[in-house]
Structure 1
Amino acid sequence: MDIEKAFEEAYEKASKTEKELAVDIKLLIYAFYKQATAGSVHQFNIPNNEDIIRAFKFNAWQQISHLSKEEAKIKYINLINSIDL
């Protein structure tokens, strides 16, 4: 299976789940997805301190911004497939 197809399938699986996930897992999912689709975090507006949720998302994305889009897709796929959704 090619990476693009596996990524789309993982995205569909994650999008349809009703399972409540731990916050750290949600942040990883977000970060890998953003890196895989948008690339490096420098393209993101830095949130102000009043928006704590955006700040956590930004931080999670920033921590994995060294990954290429393809590496982020693979990590996203592996993470989604490792969770019982």
Structure 2
Amino acid sequence: MTKEQLDKEFKAAYEKASATTQALPQDIQLLLYAYYKQGNHKSKIIPIETIKENDLRSAFKYNALIQIKGLSATEAKKEYIKLVAQHIP
């Protein structure tokens, strides 16, 4: 698959995920978040110390990004596309 094809499929998967009204499990939502950020080279991981004590949402996002830290943008896009196909009809 060429880079252009991958980018096109990634964009289509993002649009499909953004438009869905289906309730997805939180672990899937977090994976989609992390793969999307990594796929767009926007996964800057902030120091854990900067997350406020009771800010669970940010802590879960942080954890999702840490879990895929070594993944390339290309692989993250592929995983995002696959996850959308599996969970959003």
TM-score higher than 0.5 = yes
The 2-side partners of 1:60 and 1:49 are apart by 18
Q: Do the aligned residues in 2 keep the contact of 1:49 with 1:55 (CA within 8 Å)? A: no
Task: Write the letter of the residue equivalent to 1:13.
Answer: K
2:85 to 77, 81, 84: 81
The 1-side partners of 2:11 and 2:31 are apart by 17
Amino-acid identity (%)? 43
Matched position secondary structure for 1:9: helix
The 1-side partners of 2:45 and 2:69 are apart by 11
Structure 1 position 65, deviation (Å) = 1.0
1:69 and 2:73 equivalent? yes
The 1-side partners of 2:66 and 2:87 are apart by 23
Structure with the greater alpha carbon radius of gyration: 2
1:22 to 18, 25, 30: 25
TM-score under structure 1 normalisation?
0.88
The 1-side partners of 2:16 and 2:88 are apart by 10
Q: 2:45: which partner in 1?
A: 44
The runs of 4+ residues in structure 1 deviating greater than 3 Å are none
TM-score under structure 2 normalisation?
0.84
Q: Do the aligned residues in 2 keep the contact of 1:31 with 1:64 (CA within 8 Å)? A: yes
Structure 1 position 45, deviation (Å) = 2.5
Unaligned runs of 5+ in 1: none
The 1-side partners of 2:46 and 2:70 are apart by 18
Unaligned runs of 5+ in 2: none
